[in-house]
A and B are shown apart, each in its own frame.
Chain A
């Protein structure tokens, strides 16, 4: 069931559920943190950020050899941002084949569709952090 549009975002709960399940299966400690004042989000924003989180977690399991993952949802005045950071092996951002294998382009397209931005930060031995940000004028429910 979709949350009714005027409810507060249920994305934090959805992220917790997804991350908790993933953590058990992958055997990696994971923490979900929500900061800022919750705002109602459009269903497509919630779905997109949840898919990005799932994709990022799948990448961590496949590639990162991490022992810890942090999923952070930040409600800000003009945007909502999802961060997924791990403490794994990281990768060289200049090695294109590897970064493509991360399924990053698919994530990027989803976020671009919402006029948002996707950042990927990584360095060998330094873990990986992805940040998906969607601007406020597209996150909220349009007023009827």
Chain B
């Protein structure tokens, strides 16, 4: 078939990144048995993944998230930022919001869970190679859940300003001085943002804001 002929002309070049050798071996044997793919290397942490990507220029990096030295999200961000045309497909066991959102924000093209079938993995790598997003159903649900949050849960610009100042460690008095308003009004903004984030205090508000991806490392600085 012409389609297959086109694909076999140039296999999709894949870099496998995972700190567990058994996992890398499994993925490698799965992909090398298929002529549509070529495994161009392996890496066992995020730092190695960046180095191998620069050398091998894979079409797709299969990226684990939790790894020593440098985690998958940071490695994804660096790889995407370098603009080498490499697409990152996250392949992990974790599907919590705090895993999914940072990875997507870092520029991952897709997010697949390790319980994916062989066919799902094959399709996901093919899609990622052409820059199409692929999300495992539980991951898609998480993302949709984020988007579908009722609008009254969205922080106002002023509430966000207050949150950022609080995340920097400012007291209510400091925040009031910075925004040149009363402490009473700062407290009112805080109560509103606590309600929207479903928390009871400032520490939990900051933690929840990171969890939801409203704040990212650096945004509070």
B181 and A131 form a contact (CB under 8 A): yes
Check B183–A121 contact: CB distance below 8 A: yes
Contact of B176 with A by CB under 8 A: yes
Interface size class of B (residues with CB under 8 A): 10 to 19
B96: Cβ under 8 A from any A Cβ: no
Contacts A35-B156, A35-B158 given: A121-B184 contact, CB under 8 Å?
yes
The dominant DSSP class at the A interface is: strand
Contact pattern, B 149-167, Cβ under 8 Å of A = 1, otherwise 0? 0001000111000000000
Interface string of B122-147 (1 = CB under 8 A from A): 00000000000000000000000000
Give Cα distance in the complex from A61 to B132, angstroms: 63
The number of chain A residues touching the other chain, given as a range, is 20 to 34
Q: How does the 8 Å CB contact mask read for B173-193 relative to A, with 1 for contact and 0 for none?
A: 000100111111100110010
Complex CA distance for A74 and B180, rounded to whole angstroms: 13
Binding site for A on B (CB under 8 A): 152, 156-158, 176, 179-185, 188-189, 192
A118 CB → nearest B CB, Å: 9
Say yes or no for A83: interface residue by CB 8 A criterion: yes
Q: Is the CB of B185 within 8 A of A36?
A: no
**A133 and B188 contacting across the interface, CB-CB below 8 Å:** yes
Q: Is the CB of B180 within 8 A of A85?
A: yes
The 3 residue pairs across chains A and B that have the minimum distance between CB atoms: A129-B182, A131-B182, A70-B180
Of chain B, the residue at the smallest CB distance from A70 is: B180
B104 to chain A, nearest CB (A): 29
